[in-house]
Amino acid sequence: MIWIILIVVLGLILLSFLSSLNKDNDDLQGMELYHKFSLIVSFINDKAFNGNGSITSISKREFNLYEDGQNQIIKFQYNTGHLAITWKYKYFQKEIVHQRQFNNVRNLSLFEQQNIAQQMINEMSIVIVNHKNNVIGGI
């Protein structure tokens, strides 16, 4: 009896996951991922790279934002309705990684995209200041 319940629960979890992946495919139908989150990308690009960042698609569900010769790279990953942003920053050959996941981002308004971008920028500003202080303190 327990095995049947376990199999049913695992089946429902798998079915839910596959359904979410199909919704992702529908969301991205005929659209690059960076277009779906264009305002987030634009705000972060302006702050991190003075608007000079480039986008490199890794797959249908992820891309990098970076600028050649700079000490940082930002990775965007979209999966099952969630957006993960990983911001890597290197200072004096020591790297810090800050990652944040935003849930339920299938249909974001422009205001919500702006809030996500501002939240990442604010968090990363603090992370960078702390990282620089730690690196300089360790020299």
pLDDT classification of 26: cutoffs 50, 70, 90: low
Segments making up each domain of the chain, as ranges: 2-137
pLDDT classification of 79: cutoffs 50, 70, 90: confident
Phi, psi angle pair for 78, to nearest 5°: -120, 125
5-19, 80-94, 114-128, range with the lowest pLDDT: 5-19
Q: Report d(CA 103, CA 55) in Å as an integer.
A: 23
pLDDT classification of 82: cutoffs 50, 70, 90: very high
Report the C-alpha dihedral over residues 96, 114, 57, 100, rounded to 10 degrees.
40
Can you spell out the DSSP letters for 70-91?
A: -SEEEEEEEETTEEEEEEEEEE
Contact status, residue 48 vs residue 65, Cβ threshold 8 Å: yes
Q: Could you say which DSSP state residue 69 is in?
A: T
pLDDT of residue 21: 65
